[in-house]
Amino acid sequence: MVKELSGFYIKVSQVFATKPDLLPKQYVDSLKFVFEDCRETQYRKVQKLLKYQLGITLQTTFTEFTKRPIASATIAQVHLAQLRESNEKVAVKIQHPGSSDLMLSDIKNMLHVSIFMDTVGFKPPFDHTGILREYAQQVPKEFDFIRENDMLNSIGNYISRVDCNIEIPRSQPCLCSRKVLTMGFIVGDRCDTIFAAAEPILDQQEISSEFCRSLFSSYGYQLFGIGIFHSDPHPGNVFLTKSGACALLDFGQMKVLRDETQLLFARMIIALKGDSAECVKLMKQIGLKLDKTTTDIEMIIAYLLFDTRMDIREAKISPLSSELPQELRVVSLSEIDSDIFMIIRIVSMFRGILTSQGVDVHARSIWYSFALAVLYRNGEYYFHSSHVDLSQKANVLREQMKDLSKWMRSHDLPHNRDALLPFAMAGIFTTSELRRVILSEKTCNLPAIFRNFSESDMERCLLVVGNM
């Protein structure tokens, strides 16, 4: 039925298809078609659309072009092709005719029903109208492939400078329009098939854990660095490449964070890392209103919404399960700020990935240094907290960064905030931590760490630290 309805129903189903922690396995398995096996646009229509949108023919532009798409979702389908001029393998994303009207009509109708439900007093235990309003704002942007091309290049250019373990496809600007997007083809396996892709001699759980760490790290750069993030990380968009890198695909659903939200979320991550009750106060500041709850329950909900830790009992219980504690069953999330909803959405998807892989990777631990860098960038070395350990640790890091700045200055090296911000984002606050990175296998990240240094200053710093 979902396949026949198409439109926004498939968009919603893509979330449920990532949630083995929410739905029974047979439901999740039956929904997996929504990632890349939806209805296809006929080949002759594809040819006409390419000619109309780009003014090209397949024969003059490509030496190969698959007649059937290698993947088809609710908005577009993707064909594998080879450029005649360069012989490069590319993925050509082509928008389904009429998909925009259907999707927007679905959202409009759902929003009308939701508002009516609010009016008559029939309210689910979450802010469904606020969520639908956010979708109504964001989904239309997915149909603008020129915007997607810009987002693809912005994220790609940023991440390529800071992390060598994350791959983003490069677009072909001359072969892009509002309804066609051509980009480099990335060879790999969907993240939900990692176990099948792994060699038998390797520890499959370690492969999966390392993959999730790379994925969460990529979101650290997006959420706390550039302030723009991919808000649709379902298995059809997250791949493990043959080189072992994490690849992100499909940059249609991108969320741009307000500076205020980015700062509040950074504070939230630091509070969660320190198990601080500060996060309860921050949830209100960040735009969430919880009803029928207590401080202890709000702490648990903060972990469930903003972190991926699976080592708490509530993380392993479906909200639909009879085992869900009564104190959680009665909780109502009556208001959700539109800017924070997409963050909650991606964390929920990450939880689904972790559940399907049987691993436990804590996003707050990976995002901690990124969050500290946001505070550092905003002139906040720490924020007041009732949790003594958290405040003390923040003070220690502040003093360490001051000492690192003094050390840089004593060696006539760049030492201001802009120069050292990439160090903080990489979790480097001391010369000994920098030395460990230099001597480790992660030297490919050094250009990102020293990106605000000249080449000669970087070489001098590496020489001095290496000889310590």
pLDDT confidence bin for 162, thresholds 50/70/90: confident
Q: What is the C-alpha to C-alpha distance for residues 320 and 125, in angstroms, rounded to an integer?
A: 12
**Among the listed residues 181, 138, 397, 410, the one whose alpha carbon sits nearest the alpha carbon of residue 274:** 397
Q: How does pLDDT run across 338-384, given as a tens digit for each residue? A: 889 999 999 999 998 888 888 899 999 999 989 988 888 887 755 44
Give me the pLDDT at residue 383, please. 46
Q: Is the pLDDT of residue 386 over 60?
A: no
Beta strands in 231-323 (DSSP E): 238-241, 246-248, 254-256, 288-291
The DSSP bridge partners found for residue 80 are 91
Phi and psi based region of residue 109 (left: phi greater than 0; alpha: psi -120 to 50; beta: remaining): alpha
142 neighbors 252 (Cβ within 8 angstroms):
yes
Report the SS3 class of residue 78: strand
Burial 145-182 (b: 16+ CB within 10 A, else e): beebbbbbbebbebbeebbbbbbbbbbbeebbbebbbb
Give me the pLDDT at residue 137, please. 87
In the chain, the amino acid numbered 382 is: Y
Mean pLDDT score of the chain = 83
**Among the listed residues 466, 236, 217, the one whose alpha carbon sits nearest the alpha carbon of residue 353:** 236
Q: How does pLDDT run across 179-205, given as a tens digit for each residue? A: 999 999 999 888 777 655 445 445 677
Task: Parse the chain into domains and list their residue ranges.
Answer: 391-466
Look at 193-197, 334-338, 395-399 and tell me which has the smallest mean pLDDT. Answer: 193-197
Give me the pLDDT at residue 420, please. 87
